[in-house]
Amino acid sequence: MKVLLINGSSHKNGCTNRALEEIARTLSVEGVESEIVWTGNKITGCMACWSCKKTGRCVIDDLVNEVAEKMKSSDGLIVGTPVYYASPNGTLLSFLDRLFFSSSANMKFKPASMIASARRAGTTASLDVLSKYFSINQMPVVSSTYWNMVHGFTPEDVEKDLEGLQSMRNLARNMAWLLKSIEAGKKAGLELPASETGEHTNFIR
């Protein structure tokens, strides 16, 4: 089993990465593999060209398509963001818009979660924004024992946020438990739920 961890910070080795490292270490203890992918600072937003609906890939051939391929062989997803203006990093949102629009089929029914890192505030609003990517795509959302957030201005500050790091570890344990439960269900013959499709109500008459 493998969980893909997305570091949506502008800083590769900043506070968000420190939280994801805590998750990765705990997943390893639980027997679950993980990989941290950094989105960087050069992601272009979705152009609404709809090419991906024909090809299954984003027309902008960059990290988005690479992560889409990684998700085919991943069993879970955790997205991490810093908080700049009371919301997730804009680069990360552009990344997720394109990833979910172009390759949602790679992620359906795979457990997912989100974490936020802030010096002080804006974390709960950021978590709310990120959760919507999962809930529209039939992905079970994994929780922890408190909000999935850490606080600090530097990675060294995050080290002092003992409750935040505890929440990261418990999130990882809950993710591992759910992945193992899903695997056990598959072995027992439990199939994925059927989904209705075809209805697209237009509110403009």
How much is the average pLDDT of 4-15? Answer: 97
What does the pLDDT read at residue 46?
95
**Burial of 117 per CB tally in 10 Å (0-12, 13-18, 19+):** buried
H or E element, residue 24: helix 15-29
Residue ranges of the domains in the chain?
2-187
What does the pLDDT read at residue 157?
97
pLDDT at 204 over 80: no
Query: Domain 2-187 adopts which CATH fold?
Result: Rossmann fold (3.40.50)
What does the pLDDT read at residue 203?
79
Grouping H, G, I as helix, E, B as strand and the rest as coil, residue 158 is helix
What is the helix, strand, coil percentage profile of the chain, to 5? Answer: 45, 15, 40
> Do 69 and 34 meet the contact criterion of CB atoms below 8 Å apart?
no
pLDDT digit string (tens) for 154-165? 999 999 999 999
**pLDDT over 90, % of the chain:** 94
pLDDT at 152 over 70: yes
**Burial of 96 per CB tally in 10 Å (0-12, 13-18, 19+):** buried
| pTM of the complete model | 0.95
- In Å, what is the CA distance from 34 to each residue of 31, 78, 109? 10, 10, 18
Rounded Cα distance, 103 and 65, in Å: 8
What does the pLDDT read at residue 205?
63
